[in-house]
Amino acid sequence: MRHSKSSSSSSTLICDNDDRSSSAAVLREIMAREQSLVTQLRALVLPALQLAGGERAEVVAQMFNCILDCSAKAMAELKLIRLDPSRADDALPVVVDDKRRVRKIFSGDGDNAKPNRQQRKRRRLADDSVTLETPVPHYDGHQWRKYGQKLINNAAHPRSYYKCAYKQEQDCRATKTVQQYQEEDGGTDAPAMYTVVYYGQHTCNPAGNDTDAAAVVKTESTDGLSSGGDADADELSRSDSQCSNISVTCTSVVVDHHQRTASIESNSKLLDVAADLTNAEVNTYDQLYDVAAFSPFDLDTDWAIDAHGHGLPKYGDW
Please choose, out of 62-70, 153-161, 237-245, 273-281, the segment that lies near DNA by the rule CB under 7 A: 153-161
Binding region for DNA (CB under 7 A) out of 41-49, 149-157, 183-191, 226-234 = 149-157
Q: Is 99 in the site for DNA (CB under 7 A)?
A: no
Which parts of 9-68 interact with DNA (CB under 7 A)? Answer: none
The number of residues that bind DNA (CB under 7 A) is: 32
The reply on whether position 180 binds DNA by CB under 7 A is no
Nearer to DNA, 166 or 285 (CB): 166
- Is 71 a binder of DNA (CB under 7 A)? no
- Of 45 and 136, nearer to DNA (C-beta) is 136
- Which H/E stretch holds residue 175? strand 175-182
Instruction: Look up residue 147 and give its DSSP letter.
Output: E
Could you give the residue ranges of the DSSP H alpha helices within the chain?
Answer: 3-9, 17-52, 54-83, 99-107, 167-170, 213-227, 233-250, 257-278, 285-293
**Burial state string for 89-99 with b = 16 or more CB within 10 A and e = fewer than 16:** eeeeeeebeee
Q: Which residues pair with 35 in a beta bridge?
A: none
Return the residue of 25, 91, 152, 225 that touches DNA, per CB under 7 A. 152
Among 3, 150, 238, 258, binds DNA (CB under 7 A): 150
Among 9, 40, 50, 177, binds DNA (CB under 7 A): 177
Q: How far apart are CA 94 and CA 166, in angstroms?
A: 24
Question: Is residue 159 within the footprint of DNA (CB under 7 A)?
Answer: yes
165 is a site residue for DNA (CB under 7 A): yes
Interface mask toward DNA for 193-232; x: CB under 7 A = ------x---------------------------------
**Cα–Cα distance for residue pair 200/208, rounded to 1 Å:** 20
Q: Which of 3, 238, 308, 314 binds DNA (CB under 7 A)?
A: 308
Determine the 3-state secondary structure of 225 from DSSP.
helix
Q: How far apart are CA 95 and CA 170, in angstroms?
A: 19
> 182-200 in b/e burial notation, b at 16+ Cβ within 10 A?
eeeeeeeeebbbbbbbbbb
Residue 122 near DNA by CB under 7 A = yes
In this chain, which stretch among 26-34, 70-78, 156-164, 263-271 interacts with DNA, using CB under 7 A?
156-164
CB of residue 199 to DNA, shortest distance in Å: 7
Phi/psi-derived region of residue 312, left when phi > 0, alpha when psi is between -120 and 50, beta in every other case: beta
Residues 278-307 that bind DNA (CB under 7 A): 307
Angle, helices 257-278 vs 54-83, to 10°: value is 150
User: Looking at beta carbons only, is 120 or 279 nearer to DNA?
Assistant: 120
Residues 281 and 197: their CA atoms lie apart, in Å, by: 31
Between residues 157 and 269, which has the closer beta carbon with respect to DNA? 157
Q: Does residue 83 bind DNA (CB under 7 A)?
A: no
For DNA, the binding residue among 92, 110, 120, 229 (CB under 7 A) is: 120
Q: How far is the CB of 50 from DNA (least distance, A)?
A: 22
Count how many residues are written for the chain.
Answer: 318
How far lies 300's CA from each of 44, 56, 87, 140, 312, in Å? 12, 20, 49, 19, 11
Applying CB under 7 A, the residues found at the interface with DNA are 100-101, 104, 114, 116-125, 145-150, 152-153, 159-161, 163, 165, 175, 177, 199, 307-308
